Amino acid sequence: MTGNTSGASFATQMTASANTTNGAAPPVGLVKDTTTATFQRDVLEESTRQPVLVDFWAPWCGPCKQLQPIIERVVAESNGRVKLVKLNIDDHPSIPGQLGIQSIPAVIAFVGGRPVDGFMGAVPESQVRAFIDKVAGPAVDDAEVQIEAALEDAKTQFDAGDLAAAADIYGAVLQADPENTKALAGMAECMLAAGQWERSRDLIASLSDEQKADPAIAALSAKLAHIEEARKLGDPRALEQELAADPDNHEARVKLAKILNVEGDREAATDHLISIMKRDRTWDEDGARRQLLQFLDVWGFKDPASVAARRKMSAILFS
């Protein structure tokens, strides 16, 4: 299965995220110098979109030189949660004067156009991180966010019928996180939908017991079991001829329902089992109802076929 560039794009994003976390230069715009003239735009207006830290410093200030590389590094690693703006108080004394800043280095956090918190002095890196968490909220694992977004994208592609694109994205997720159960289930589902049921079966067989217990994997296992069973049930045309000759051949009707289910005709599969329930509820100890319940477990509670089947079944059971 080959597809579009969605998977490659995701892998590229993962690499870029890793480079930032490993201490590469911050994205353009996260750290900048400001002036009295641009303070309104750089700080007050920008802080309505995200927290902005203002570092008040001066060239002659030794502690300022100790703090700046620390705070710049932490801001770079925050992946855009905050921005850092530096103001040289020697060149631009009016703003620090208005804020009552009498000692440097001083860092003031602005949110919504107003100063909300701050600290003074060359504090250790751990304190800078804690300060950013306080004003911007705790850090979120950027790679985890990207994976969840990619999984949603893959499901959208799958639901739209683009199996190749979905498989590419699931493959990219598995490159980043080989044990991701959602991606493994998605990849197996793509194989199954593409008619590669043996590859899907082998993939699921390779998983750990814990992964096999996941609801999505368990549902796929049940679906594969139905496929393997249906392959042994015979020719559906021959079964239809048997039913035409004897409509009460319930065994043939159940076999045909199983085959139709595997072929994706859930409505017809349901109708055959409902037909047995109408004719003889006692057959095989209510076997038709039990078989339909097995189908519903695999289809899922919200599947339209499940909703319709439950409605038809209720009409018989409670009439």
Give the phi and the psi of residue 41 in degrees, each rounded to 5.
Answer: -75, -45
Neighbours of 87 (CB within 10 A): 25
Q: Which of 61, 95, 204, 313 is catalytic?
A: 61
Single-letter amino acid code for the residue at 133: D
249 secondary structure, DSSP code: -
Contact status, residue 196 vs residue 163, Cβ threshold 8 Å: no
Q: 64 an active-site residue?
A: yes
Work out whether strand 83-88 and strand 52-57 pair parallel, antiparallel, or are unpaired: parallel
Dig out the tokens for 181 from the structure: 């159960």
Q: Count of residues for the chain?
A: 319
Catalytic residue among 31, 43, 64, 274: 64
Strand order in the sheet with 83-88: 31-33, 83-88, 52-57, 106-111, 114-120
34 CB-near residues (< 8 Å, 6+ apart)? 42, 43, 54, 85, 86, 87
For the question of residue 61 being annotated catalytic, the response is yes
Q: Catalytic positions, please? A: 61, 64
